[in-house]
Amino acid sequence: MKMHYPESVRRHYEELDRLPESYVILGDALCSFNPFYGQGMSVAALEGLLLVNLLRETREGLGRRFLAAAAQLLDTPWGIVAGGDLRFPQAEGTRTPRTKEFSEYLTRYRVAAHRDADLVTTFLRVTNMLEDPSALMAPQVVARVAAAG
């Protein structure tokens, strides 16, 4: 498969010493994802909800508070996308034994999902950010993947 998207990019504005007071950075300006995974719009929507909730509290220090909270929000989808890209040999990044093991598990998972609608549902719920990625490793899910051989 040939992809024309150069790379996913995550910016860590929360680490800057100074920020403009009148700006909130969100969406692709904060983190742009490989569109293959379909995370960008979901994350932007979650960032919007996060912003609404922070505005309900107070507007004081909104930019800094938002960036700190958004950094935490981004950790999970970024891990999914960055980890997914690492299964391609040409992708740059650190491949740990854990990353390699999880990539191999996901390969087995995808094969098993061809015959198991529940596995498909769980995978889609995780990739659409309706469930935490740990759902892919729930004991009953791991057992279904193992049983598919």
Q: Higher model confidence: residue 19 or residue 88?
A: 19
Q: 120 vs 10, 77, 124, CA distance in Å? A: 28, 18, 6
**Domain boundary assignment for the chain:** 9-85, 97-148
- Looking at the chain, the whole-number percentage of residues with pLDDT higher than 70 is 96
Q: How confident is the model at residue 87 (pLDDT cuts 50, 70, 90)?
A: confident
pLDDT, mean of residues 100-125: 91
Q: Higher model confidence: residue 82 or residue 56?
A: 56
- Looking at the chain, the whole-number percentage of residues with pLDDT higher than 90 is 49
Question: Pick from 26, 35, 42: which is nearest to 7 by CA?
Answer: 35
Task: Give me the pLDDT at residue 4, please.
Answer: 65
Q: Which amino acid is at 129?
A: M
Task: Give me the pLDDT at residue 136, please.
Answer: 93
Task: Give me the pLDDT at residue 118, please.
Answer: 95
Could you tell me if 123 and 109 are in contact, meaning their C-beta atoms sit under 8 angstroms apart?
yes
pLDDT tens digit string along 46-60? 999 999 999 999 999
Structure tokens at 58: 């107070």
Task: Give me the pLDDT at residue 64, please.
Answer: 92
Task: Give me the pLDDT at residue 5, please.
Answer: 64
Count helices and strands in the chain by DSSP H and E runs: 5, 2
pLDDT, mean of residues 118-138: 90
